């Protein structure tokens, strides 16, 4: 009798472990959602229920919009290469322009043209922005403006923007600019002036479709080309020091 009970217990335990393994496998495939997205997802989900009650085809449209909203606010973990001098992409998207431009005056980076890498984020890209380098956030400057297409070059001057000036331990300064776009109407910042931040850590988010500009030190050659796809916190866009130095990685 006792052996039968023991066998049943073992079988139950095996089934439970199998179920937990399946659940854990499913969870590992799901991309986390940034908390900034919960109010939007909840609103669209509630609207979908109302639309189902009114007319089911509208409800299905609302469901698709809800799923897209969850997809938009995804916040996948990234593995950031760590080494002094590496500059990683602050955003997911397409490298739309690589050029030399005078940085916005509020950044305090001088009045001479600096290498600039612009990354355009469509509504299908992850919109969580990450720090391109490790250092201290010396300055954050917001400026109101227009909402023209962020893919246009004039958006850097005319559009609403939020600028970060980050000082590396070596004293070198890097500029990062969040630029609102045609659809984007809200720039969100996660950090404050004086904060010390690591490369690849989250610094903000823009809703819904926009662009980020990175201003590099004078003379630094960007390592990306126009049209290239970049991943926030992973794609190396420049190397201030010798590229032969050893690199390490961090997940985040």
Our measurement of the distance from residue 217's CA atom to the centroid of its chain's CA atoms, rounded to an integer in Å, reads: 22
- In what helix (H) or strand (E) does residue 45 lie, and over which residues does it extend? helix 38-54
Tokens of 84: 């002094």
φ, ψ of residue 93 to 5 degrees: the values are: 150, -165
CA max distance for the chain: 87
Q: Could you give the CA distance from residue 64 to residue 13 in angstroms, rounded to a whole number?
A: 39
Q: Which residues are catalytic?
A: 210
CB 81 within 8 A of CB 248: yes
Beta-carbon contacts of 116 under 8 Å, excluding residues fewer than 6 positions away, are 97, 98, 99, 100, 101, 103, 156, 213, 214, 215, 216
Which among 206, 241, 222, 182 is positioned nearest to 92, based on CA atoms?
A: 206
């Amino acid at each position: 009798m006792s052996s039968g009970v023991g066998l049943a217990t073992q079988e139950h335990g095996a089934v439970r472990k199998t179920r937990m393994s399946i659940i854990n496998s499913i969870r590992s495939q799901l991309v986390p959602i940034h908390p900034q997205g919960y109010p939007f997802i909840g609103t669209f989900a509630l609207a979908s229920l109302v639309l189902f009650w009114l007319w089911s085809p509208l409800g299905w449209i609302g469901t698709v919009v809800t799923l897209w909203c969850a997809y938009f606010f995804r916040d996948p973990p990234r593995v950031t290469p760590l080494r002094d001098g590496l500059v990683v992409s602050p955003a997911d998207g397409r490298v739309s322009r690589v050029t030399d431009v005078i940085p916005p005056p509020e950044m305090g980076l001088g009045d001479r043209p600096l290498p600039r890498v612009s990354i355009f984020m469509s509504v299908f890209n992850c919109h969580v922005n990450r720090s391109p380098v490790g250092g201290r956030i010396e300055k954050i400057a917001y400026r109101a403006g227009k909402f023209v297409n962020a893919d246009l070059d004039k958006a850097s001057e005319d559009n609403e923007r939020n600028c970060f000036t980050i000082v590396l331990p070596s004293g070198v300064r890097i500029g990062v600019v969040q630029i609102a776009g045609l659809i984007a109407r809200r720039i969100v910042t996660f950090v404050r002036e004086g904060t010390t931040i690591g490369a690849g850590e989250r610094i903000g988010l823009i809703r819904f479709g926009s662009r980020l500009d990175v201003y590099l030190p004078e003379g630094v050659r960007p390592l990306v080309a126009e049209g290239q796809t970049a991943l926030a916190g992973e794609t190396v866009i420049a190397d201030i020091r010798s590229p032969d130095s050893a690199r390490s990685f961090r997940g985040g």
